[in-house]
Structure 1
Amino acid sequence: MKIILTQEVSGLGAPGDVVEVKNGYGRNYLLPQGYAIGWTKGAEKQVTSIKRARESREIRDLGEATSVKERLEGLKITLKVRAGDGGRLFGAITANEIVEAVETAGGPALDRRRMTVSPIKAVGRHAVTVRLHAEVVATVNLDVIRAK
């Protein structure tokens, strides 16, 4: 099955890429989740607009990515959340909350889809990885503290 990706899918491609996948994977997962659209000649024309939108969000070159990495790793990011007596959170911290915390701390705007976050469900210090470029990965230290 030939499809056009509308969002980044790890191990498969980036938005605007035309890829060939197995029928079940495309029909049962990628299309219903909105990660892709079916390939047609009319949809092929949308590829340029999808790629243009991707390029505007993407960090342009390796030098810019390394400077953003240095800014991110130098930030002190604190997130206040509701937690129980044992330090266990009422819910989990999402990638959107982390993006907002980075921007509040004075960091650059990030794309939540480029973050690798294991579920954060307890107070303490946690590491979050962000893919800034194909060759640059930043590690952001996040201090989760209990709100009073």
Structure 2
Amino acid sequence: MKVILRKNYDKLGKVGEVVEVKDGFARNFLIPRQIAYQATKGNILSFEEEKKQILKREAKELEAAQKLAAELEKISITIPVKVGEEDKIFGSVTNQMIADSLKEKGYEVDKRKIEIAEPIKALGIYSVNIKLHPSVSATVKTWVVRE
């Protein structure tokens, strides 16, 4: 079945592309979740107007993400943690802890967008990557200190 993608979808394509997928995948997954339309002549014509609106919305989201990334690059956050002997942390610093520290500074960032390369299990200074948009990411300096 041919479908028109309404949203960017990994491994399928980008907005507006007409792709061939299996019937069951289209009927049971893509169409009910409004990720795609069935590619009929009427849907192709009506999608052109919707595509303009989608592109405008994505441009605004990209601009907002770039603005937020510029602000996040300038700040650093401090996360106090409990430590044992030899300055070993009990557990590790989580995405939620980083999101809460950013929220205290006035930046609302979803914890799922925070990417920690390797678990933070010691005191020190770390660079944490935040993926704000598929093409925009920011690096926040994170200080892990003794509570």
Report the TM-score, using the length of structure 2 for normalisation. Answer: 0.61
Aligned residues with identical type, % of pairs = 30
In structure 2, C-alpha distance between the alignment counterparts of 1:12 and 1:44, rounded to whole Å: 13
| 1:12–1:128 Cα change, 3 Å | farther
In structure 2, C-alpha distance between the alignment counterparts of 1:123 and 1:134, rounded to whole Å: 31
In structure 1, C-alpha distance between the alignment counterparts of 2:32 and 2:81, rounded to whole Å: 41
| 1:44–1:120 Cα change, 3 Å | same
In structure 1, C-alpha distance between the alignment counterparts of 2:30 and 2:91, rounded to whole Å: 41
In structure 2, C-alpha distance between the alignment counterparts of 1:72 and 1:144, rounded to whole Å: 17
Q: Deviations over 1:31-69 (max 9, x none)?
A: xxxxxxx946244443128xxxxx9xx994332112101
Find the residue that maps to 2:85 and give its secondary structure: coil
Could you tell me which residue of structure 1 aligns to residue 32 of structure 2? 46
In structure 2, C-alpha distance between the alignment counterparts of 1:97 and 1:128, rounded to whole Å: 12
| 1:46–1:94 Cα change, 3 Å | farther
| 1:59–1:106 Cα change, 3 Å | farther
Could you tell me which residue of structure 2 aligns to residue 103 of structure 1? 103
Aligned CA-pair RMSD = 3.3
Could you tell me which residue of structure 2 aligns to residue 63 of structure 1? 63
Deviation at 1:119, TM superposition (A): 0.3
Report which of the two structures shows the higher radius of gyration computed on alpha carbons.
2
Deviation at 1:100, TM superposition (A): 0.8
Unaligned 5+ segments in structure 1 are: 1-8, 21-37, 50-54
Q: Is the 8 A contact 1:91 1:121 kept in 2?
A: yes
